[in-house]
Amino acid sequence: MTPAAGNLLEIRGLRIAIPSREGELVAVSGLDLEVGRGDILGIVGESGSGKSLSMLAVMGLLPRGMQVSGSIRFAGEELIGRSPRQMRTVRGRRIAMIFQDPMTALNPVLTIGAQLAEALKIHQPALSRRERRRKAIELLELVAIPMPERRFEQYPQELSGGMRQRIVIAIAMANDPELLIADEPTTALDVTIQAQIVEILQRLQREKGLSIILITHDLGLVASLADRVSILYAGRVMERGAVEAIFHRSRHPYTAGLLAAIPSIEGGTGRLVAIDGVQPSLAERGPACPFHPRCRFALPICAEREPPFTWSDDRSMTACHRASDAPFTGALDAG
């Protein structure tokens, strides 16, 4: 594990709870993660695993009523408990976010240029009109948009999906943030465009030293882009560490199941394999390992106690009572 001092973002024991009539529902529990400067961290998990909520917590944008505890340190400063006004100086300036669907993430009544200028205006109000325009054009060039002068005057609906996602990235990069949170940045795009977006993100990391958190369902995307990965399930980290370690030497049955579920091109046309069962709902989450009802390797202890983290190698750790029995081959059968 990298020394704590070098980390840009460090989350320790993050817990997000939603009060309800039946007692509080714990959406995220005991979440640890860290992103080094210039690192790309992949966060993989099903819908409802808590990955988006955790990122909203980082941005300070959790819906009112949710209770957050734990620690989120960004560049050494604690973010939890900051006032909305203080958070606004972080959002967009030091931490930027891009969304899944570029079709809806842009304001339909403003030109591309106006939206870029808007992002600059908020955090760098001292810039003159001309400087803003020059910077905006530079940003468009940064994300490899041809004919930036022309795009400047166009409205979002005049551009293709891939083009719009690049604009969204350009807007996110407007104020040279240190961390970019990309929430499924390629899910809504077709495969050839996905490759272009991946390339742009890689270039930004390389040239600008940008740290990226990549939230995704797409294990292939994580493999091609991320250095490290966290596997989330039902609000907890199942396994985390270096991508190659997790992908090649997984010591958790859930990760093994996810990897086994990727259809391969040699796999023929049989049924797709899947992990049986569904993720426990918020109300069903107890102190045990959340994955045990679906786990083919579960022992009686799995239903009783939450598994502790054990080191897999010097950079990776796993939360499984049976981690020492890995590898979990045959985590799934073709049904």
Partner 1 sequence: MALSISQIFVERRRRLRLPRFRRRSLPLILGCVIVGAFVLAALTIDLWTPYDPVALAGRRLQPPSLDHWLGTDALGRTLYGTRYSLPIAALVLSVGVTIGVLFGAVAGFLGGAVDAAIMRLADITLSFPPILLAMAIAASLGPGLFHTAIALIIVWWPIYARLMRAQVLNVKVLEHVDAAVTSGTPPLRILVKHIVPLCWAPILVNASIDVGQVVLLASGLSFIGLGAQPPTPEWGQMIAEGAASFYQWWIALGPGLAILLISLAFNFLGDSVNDLFDPRSRRPA
Q: Tell me if 110 contacts partner 1 by CB under 8 A.
A: yes
Stretch that binds partner 1, among 38-46, 103-111, 248-256, 322-330 (CB under 8 A): 103-111
142: contact with partner 1 by CB under 8 A: no
Interacting residue with partner 1 among 25, 62, 75, 118 (CB under 8 A): 118
Q: What DSSP element (H or E) covers 171?
A: helix 161-172
Q: According to the binding rule CB under 8 A, does residue 124 interact with partner 1? A: no
Asked if 92 interacts with partner 1 (CB under 8 A), we say: yes
The structure tokens 């499984």 sit at 320
167 binds partner 1 (CB under 8 A): no
The burial of 69, by beta-carbon neighbours within 10 Å (0-12 exposed, 13-18 middle, 19 or more buried), is given as exposed
Size of site (CB under 8 A) for partner 1? 32
Which strands sit side by side in the sheet containing 179-183, from one edge to the other? 95-98, 179-183, 211-216, 40-44, 228-233, 236-242, 317-319, 309-311
The residue type at 243:
V
Q: Which position among 74, 99, 254, 328 is part of the footprint of partner 1 (CB under 8 A)?
A: 99
Give the binding range for partner 1 (CB under 8 A) out of 7-15, 114-122, 250-258, 319-327. Answer: 114-122
Least distance between partner 1 and beta carbon 98 (Å): 8
- CA dist., res. 323 & res. 275, Å (int): 19
Map tokens 């069962």 to a residue: 277
How near is the Cβ of 158 to partner 1 at its closest, in Å?
5
Q: From the CB of 53, what's the least distance to partner 1, in Å? A: 14
In whole angstroms, the minimum distance from the beta carbon of 196 to partner 1 comes to 14
Strand partners, 183: 215
Helix (H, G, I), strand (E, B) or coil at 76: coil
Contact 172, 97 (CB under 8 A): yes
160 lies in the binding site for partner 1 (CB under 8 A): yes
Distance CA 235, CA 17 (A): 10
Distance separating alpha carbons of residues 171 and 97, to the nearest angstrom: 10
Residue 108 makes contact with partner 1 by CB under 8 A: yes
String of b and e for 209-226 (b: at least 16 CB within 10 Å)? ebbbbbbbebbebbbebb
Contacting partner 1 (CB under 8 A), which of 93, 133, 296, 315?
93
User: How many of the other CB atoms lie within 10 Å of CB of 270?
Assistant: 9
Taking the least distance from each CB to partner 1, the nearer of 147 and 265 is 147
Q: Is 113 in the site for partner 1 (CB under 8 A)?
A: no
Interface characters, 205-224, with partner 1 (x: CB under 8 A): --------------------
**57 binds partner 1, rule: CB under 8 A:** no
Rule CB under 8 A: say whether 281 interacts with partner 1. no
Least distance to partner 1, CB of residue 179, Å: 12
> Could you count the other beta carbons within 10 Å of the beta carbon of residue 332?
18
CB nearer to partner 1: pick between 40 and 172: 172
Residue that is written with structure tokens 């020492």 in the block:
324
Phi and psi at residue 261, to the nearest 5°: -85, -5
**Beta carbon nearer to partner 1, 88 or 285:** 88
The amino acid that residue 152 corresponds to is F
Under the rule (CB under 8 A), what is the footprint of partner 1? 59, 61, 87-93, 96-97, 99, 101, 104-110, 118-119, 122-123, 146-147, 158, 160, 168, 171-172, 174
